[in-house]
Structure 1
Amino acid sequence: MSAWVEGRIERVEVATPRLKRFFLTAPLPRHVAGQHVDVRLTAEDGYEARRSYSIASAPGAPEIELLIEKLDDGEVSPFFHDIALSGDTIELRGPLGGHFVWRPADGGPLLLVAGGSGVVPLMAMVRDWAGSTHSTHAMPLMLVYSARTAAELAFAGELRALEAAAPLFTWVAVTTRESPVRATDRGRRLDSAAVRAVLADWGHAPAHVFVCGSNRFVEAVAGGLLDAAVPAHLIRTERYGGA
């Protein structure tokens, strides 16, 4: 296991009403898209709380970007949302995780499906793809990103800009509690029929599939992918919990 190091919060930005972006610097090795770091908070009485947070930044970026959702009954996320400020230091270790990762050399087509804050490790993959020659050559990437409303879609501006600049990038926003904003978006949950429809519209057979979200979301999407005849060995999943 890697050692704990001290990281510094360089800046904090509001991403959505319940998500904040934290940009940190820390003496950690270069990560692979899809990996995470562990965070450790220690109280004055010695009590420790540890949580894992996926990295949103592209490999090699000068800062480590974390996207943290505030959970009212959480133990660590309220600290980040209500107390942590630029200039504060926290303990980190990592990068960790070797299964839910993608490298440009792995190729594609690449299909990414995110529910809520599950977009974070997939955003690292999108950014890694965008910084490689794949974005201008023959490797399509589609991100299907589900949230309750459009206001809860983090990185929306960046995704719109990338879609305009990279013809091989497709972004489908799925809003479960309001009507879709664009004709290419969807306003229903990603059940089996919706997954099949999205794949049919895309028109590519994925070589790698990554699904990240809540247990219920991952089960529904993975089932839909299997119903759409996507081979099980191509599908990798990651589930998030409370923090």
Structure 2
Amino acid sequence: MNTRESQLSAFNRLLEIMDDLREKCPWDKKQTFETLRHLTIEETYELTDAIFDRDLEEIKKELGDVLLHIVFYAKLGSEENAFDIADVCNAISDKLVMRHPHIYADVHVDNEEDVKKNWEKLKLKEGNTSVLSGVPKSLPAMIKAMRIQEKAKGVGFDWDNADQVWDKVEEEMNEFQAEVQKDDVQKMEEEFGDVLFSMINYARFKNINPEDALEKTNKKFIYRFQYLEQEVQKDGKQLSDLTLEEMDVYWNRAKIEKQKK
């Protein structure tokens, strides 16, 4: 691993390259906070893909892309005399010190849960008007639900055990089925949202990350469907010409092939 000196040297090199690009590159010259925003989101998702696959080489590359965006935003901030990369680093350092009084002050904690509860209490003292104010509005709905539930738990608003949560899941399922019988789309949507929210809550109690669980199912479906497409083509057939029962033969074969790997 690199020494701290070489790490700082590498970071300084990136800052100097950013200065050059902003001055000399036509594309980099044109970028703003707004134009970079969607690219930053894309880079973040690419990083999460690499993390999900546990591809360390790809994680390294994607972290570089995300770091470039941070440096770019800091450069834009400096051009507006609002902040620079030092201000960004100092701001997060100050926050970390303040949010970890069990490390940098005399607060005692016994476990991870104590740390989380202190974190939320400190955020309220800092001026946040709500425990939930730190949940970004633009988060995907499933991740947002997870964060909402975690933050509510941080101040003690939570179920006592998983059985209670499962009872809630069943209650919401029944309410959803009742609306299905009425065929009211707006009400069905509302109740289906409640079902999903309660299922995410139950997953949390069972230490399951619902986002990861769904992504694994997505990948599984993609693998099986693409296997189906390839095998049908090998057999000289058209997928659109097959019955569902015929497709199911290939689908089950894909499941068997995956288990062998």
TM-score normalised by the shorter chain: which range applies?
under 0.3
The structure where helix makes up a greater share of residues is 2
Q: What is the TM-score when the length of structure 1 is the normalising length? A: 0.22
Q: Greater Rg, structure 1 or structure 2?
A: 2
- Tell which has more relative contact order, 1 or 2 (C-alpha 8 A, sep 6+): 1
Q: What is the TM-score when the length of structure 2 is the normalising length? A: 0.21
